[in-house]
C-alpha cells in the first residue's frame, strides 16, 4: 500500500486524519487525472471537453442548455459559455436558439464529436482499467460509497 508521507517525502506527521485523507484524495485525483489527460491530449481535447462530450452524447438529439451542461460537469468551470464556444469552433458541438423561447439555446454533440468519443471509448476504458483494475469489485464499491459519503459533508 502506498504511504502518502513517503510519496511526498514528508517527515512530519499530518495534523489530523482529515488532513491526511484530504491530501490522499487530492494526490490520487491528480495522478488519475494526469493519466487520463495524456490519453485525451493525444486527441486534442481536455478532460472538461471530454466530460461535455459525454454529457451531450447521453442527452441525445434534444441536447441541453448551457446551465444543464454546467450542472452535470464533474468539475466546475468558471465560464461554460466560452468552453462551449471553443468546442463549437472545433466542430464538436453545435447550438441552436429555441424558436419558442429565444433565451434558451440547445447544445448538441455533432457527428464529429460522436466520432471522437467513439475513438476515445476504448483508450479511456483501458486507462481506467490500468489505474483501478487491481482493485476488487468489493473494493471499488466501497471506494465509491466512501467518496459519495465524503461529498455529502457540509
Residue 117 has a pLDDT of: 97
C-alpha cell at 84: 462551449
- Whether 153 maps to a domain, the answer reads no
- Whether 2 maps to a domain, the answer reads no
Residue 93 CB contacts under 8 Å (≥ 6 apart), including other chains: 52, 53, 56, 84, 87, 107, 108, 109, 110, 113
Instruction: Output the domain CATH number for residue 28.
Output: 1.10.10.10
- Whether 56 maps to a domain, the answer reads yes
Q: How many structural domains comprise the chain?
A: 1
Per-residue pLDDT of the chain (154 residues; tens, 9 = 90+): 678 888 888 889 999 999 999 999 999 999 999 999 999 999 999 999 999 999 999 999 999 999 999 999 999 998 999 999 999 999 999 999 877 777 788 999 999 999 999 999 999 999 999 999 999 999 999 999 999 999 897 6
- Whether 23 maps to a domain, the answer reads yes
Residue 104 has a pLDDT of: 81
Give me the residue label for grid cell 500500500.
1
- Whether 87 maps to a domain, the answer reads yes
Range of the domain at 104: 16-147
Category of 97 on φ-ψ map: left (φ > 0), alpha (ψ -120 to 50) or beta: beta
Amino acid at each position: 500500500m502506498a504511504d502518502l508521507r513517503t510519496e511526498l517525502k514528508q517527515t512530519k506527521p499530518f495534523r489530523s486524519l482529515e488532513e491526511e485523507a484530504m491530501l490522499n484524495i487530492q494526490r490520487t485525483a491528480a495522478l488519475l487525472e494526469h493519466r487520463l489527460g495524456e490519453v485525451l491530449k493525444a486527441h486534442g481535447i481536455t478532460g472538461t471537453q471530454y466530460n461535455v462530450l459525454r454529457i451531450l452524447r447521453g442527452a441525445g438529439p434534444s441536447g441541453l442548455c448551457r446551465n444543464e451542461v454546467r450542472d452535470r460537469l464533474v468539475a466546475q468551470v468558471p465560464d461554460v459559455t466560452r468552453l462551449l464556444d471553443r468546442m463549437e469552433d472545433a466542430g464538436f458541438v453545435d447550438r441552436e436558439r429555441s424558436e419558442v423561447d429565444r433565451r434558451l439555446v440547445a447544445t448538441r454533440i455533432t457527428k464529429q464529436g460522436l466520432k471522437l468519443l467513439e475513438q476515445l471509448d476504448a483508450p479511456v476504458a483501458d486507462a481506467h482499467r490500468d489505474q483501478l483494475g487491481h482493485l476488487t469489485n468489493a473494493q471499488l464499491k466501497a471506494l465509491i460509497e466512501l467518496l459519495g459519503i465524503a461529498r455529502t459533508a457540509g
